[in-house]
Structure 1
Amino acid sequence: MDSQMMVSVILLIALAEVFLVVLLVFWKRGIITENPFALTLKKEWQILFYAFFRWKRRNGNSIEGTQAFSYYKTSNYFWLFVALIHEQVLEMVVFHIYLKNEEPEIATIMLVLHIYSVFYMMGDYNLIRNSPVLLNGNQVQFKIGARRQLDFCISDIENIQPATIKYKNNGGIIHEKDAFHVTAMPRILTYIFEVTDEASYEIVFKTPLHARGYFGQKKTVRKALLYIDQPEEFTGVLQEKMNTYSHHSNTLEEVVQKDEKVPVIDWKIYFSLLFLNLLGAVAIAPYAIARENMHQQMGLTEMEFVLYYLAQVFLESAVLLFVALWLIKKVELGVPVIESVFHKEKQVSHLSRKLINSVLYGFLTGSVIIFVSLLISTPLGIDNSSIKDTPWWLAVFGSFGAAVNEESVFRLFLVTTFIWLSMKITKKETNGLNKWTAISLAALIFSGMHYSVAAANFEMTLGVIGGMLLINGIGGMVFGAMFVFMGLEFAIIAHFTANILIQVIGPLFIS
């Protein structure tokens, strides 16, 4: 990376830091009521989720007592959306061809940014399709995808009147600062290009209300401009409810609860597991440096390798954990201990017994692996003495990191995904067959992933490959079964116990 590129990266990081500080200040001052960092991450994942899944539009009218009104069908945003997608794809190709030889690093960065922007726009548009205006009882919800939201009661309405767009003398649009726009057209495009849909009606409120922006920031609004597909029908229903308004209406919380019965995933569990995986990465990085010299193999300093490994684990875990937690409810698996921390009603039965059993299963698994390893080592010409070279405390760290990271990937993600795929293919609920099939497939992949480690130390004969698959397959089957029938945390404990026996205690008996 040349100096010019380094300066550009530093400037971008500095700007990002300034932006984050501003968000933090706004949060502390109450201008933003929710944690902006968690909220932004949640919305980014929500948009990416809608970019790949949920393209079958939900019908808001299916929610009991709720009427839904769309606002994207007659919007010009669809054509602008198509044009922007084409522009991004063409720009991505041209930039990459032009820069790949001259500035390959910049070309790669631009490629990633363009791909992300395409998926982001797809997710944003699909989320708009699935976020209709909701009218439940005397409560109204304007939720414009992930961009902004306004909730109010019929009693907050002063009157409903036809809307008009006001223009400056030079022909530019006058943007009203105290208005909430119920439109699919992104406001940023209206500000920049003066492109907008035609507002049909506007709702004037008795007193100013607070809307929420993308980062959770408050905005005071005095009116809402409607660009919806059925303006007469919607305003007619509102007018009728205004005339027959009753104070014994549903609360706003009930509307939101009915609209969002269950979040896509349990975000508290998601961030807990993500944090746990980052701890695992921090623990295993020094072990990988000391035992495998991974930093030298990659041509990195020790600190660069640690940062690289943390970034890799963060990105992988962020995606895989999201998918796993989204699927886990469908296959009736869980993360019982962490769930019990955040949901007091979901207490783990016989927790002490399960913890003891986890340690016991881990000890037995480690013992069997050591026995099999010693049994086949001499015939295969494998020298196990190098395992003694790692300090015991690093082996403990490595055991913890491997248990957390590997169980999250190979059990929580892979086993869950295989069970879900089996259910989709067979059109049947979970049963013993698809569970054990998923456990076996995940164990096989788990064993195969150790090939590179074995190849770096041994000549990979057919016998060595078979021994590697057997030894790691034993652990994969046991830990997979514990995940399915007990829960992820118990599989992690068993894996950690087995690792301690193999990596810390076992070397004491090797001459």
Structure 2
Amino acid sequence: MAATTPLPVSTAPWKPDLKIAVLLGVVSALAVAALIPYLVQLMPDKFAKLPVPLPVLVVAQSLQALVLMGLTSLAGLRMGRRVGLGAPLLQRWINREPLVIAPRPLQAILLGVAAALGVVALSAGIDPFLPPMLHPPAKSGAGESALNGFLASFYGGIAEELQLRLFLMTLMVWLVAVLRKARPSPRVYGIAIAMAALLFGVGHLPAADHVWGLDAVVVVRTVLLNSIAGLAFGWLYWKRGLEMAILAHFSADIVLHVLAPLVAKAA
């Protein structure tokens, strides 16, 4: 039987990770506020029935994101130190820690764009089989729609990566490491990437349900397309760090939610 590498015990203090977690909580709060115009465009019927004024909702949701994302980021950073995952650029810039991973931002951008183009290509084959929309998005000008998509891309790139990669994927790898008392094998990271990607796809089902309702085609389309992108983001998180996963996710969303609407309007 092959020898396993003992799991290192993290002796790093909490304060450096706390500083990064606070920063991530703040930018997540801003990303949630930026997401609201896109949601209003996607679900105008629901926002027309709000029991509170829209600005109050924005502030409440942003404060909630500040706390929840800050706490989950702190947990992800702490767990990540024991399994080689984390935010190397932020750890370098904020805490002056050695940079242990080559970031390669161009690779992240190209992989994010490639994932988005793959989603577009698969959508072209699946979308003709979708049921009629139950709640078509509100009509708007091309620039307005693209602007909302641009603002929403910050939520996808930042908040979703904090939830799915920094916290959830790290948690899965960390649990295996703790149970085995050894540094996980590449297979463990691969399984965690796949599971986080699958959950990333499942997490988009409520929005799909609002637009089409959930039949077999809608479920397969939603989970499959988002999981493909999630695999790319998970691999980048493992090999290049959180920042490159965020950059790739943001790049993919720019293609899907900014360039695609502009091209559709121009056609």
Tell me whether the two structures share a fold, i.e. TM-score over 0.5: yes
Q: Give the match for residue 359 of structure 1.
A: 109
User: Could you give the per-residue CA deviations for residues 372-424 of structure 1, whole angstroms, max 9, x where no partner exists?
Assistant: 11210002346698497452112111111221000000110000001011223
What letter is aligned with 1:496? Answer: F
Q: Distance in 2 between matches of 1:288 and 1:346?
A: 40
Aligned residues: 250
Contact 2:38–2:149, Cα closer than 8 Å, also in 1: yes
What are structure 1's unaligned runs of at least 5 residues?
Answer: 1-260
Say what the alpha-carbon RMSD is for the aligned residues: 2.4
Distance 2:126 2:96 in 1: 48
Distance 2:250 2:107 in 1: 13
> Which one of 311, 321, 324 corresponds to residue 73 of structure 2?
321
1:100-119 equivalences in 2 (<5 Å): none
Q: Deviations over 1:201-224 (max 9, x none)?
A: xxxxxxxxxxxxxxxxxxxxxxxx
Distance 1:418 1:371 in 2: 31
1:94 is aligned to none
Relative to the length of structure 1, the TM-score reads 0.46
* Bigger strand share: 1
The residue aligned with 1:312 is 64
Distance 1:388 1:432 in 2: 47
Aligned equivalent of 2:123, options 367, 373, 378: 373
Query: Deviations along 1:252-271, whole A, 9 cap, x unmatched?
Result: xxxxxxxxx63135222122
SS of 2:183's equivalent in the other structure is coil
Alignment of 1:41-190 (within 5 A): none
Q: Aligned residues: percent identity?
A: 26
Structure exhibiting the larger radius of gyration computed from Cα positions: 1
Amino acid at match of 2:169: V
Letter in 2 for 1:301: P
Aligned residue for 1:398? 152
Partner of 1:333: 85
Work out the CA distance in 2 between the residues paired with 1:286 and 1:409. 21
Higher helix share: 2
1:336 maps to amino acid: P
SS in 2 for 1:457: helix
Cα pair distance change 1:440/1:458, threshold 3 Å: same
Offset at residue 312 of structure 1 (A): 2.2
Q: How many Å separate the matches in 1 of 2:49 and 2:224?
A: 27
Aligned to 2:31: 280
Maintained 8 Å contact 2:25/2:73: yes
Deviation string 1:147-184 (CA, Å, 9 cap, x unpaired) is: xxxxxxxxxxxxxxxxxxxxxxxxxxxxxxxxxxxxxx
Structure 1 residues 497 and 382, CA gap change in structure 2 (3 angstroms): farther
2:212 corresponds to which of 452, 458, 472? 458
Where 2:212 maps in the other structure, the secondary structure is coil
How big is the shift at 1:340?
1.5
Matched ranges for 1:463-502 at <5 A: 463-502=217-256
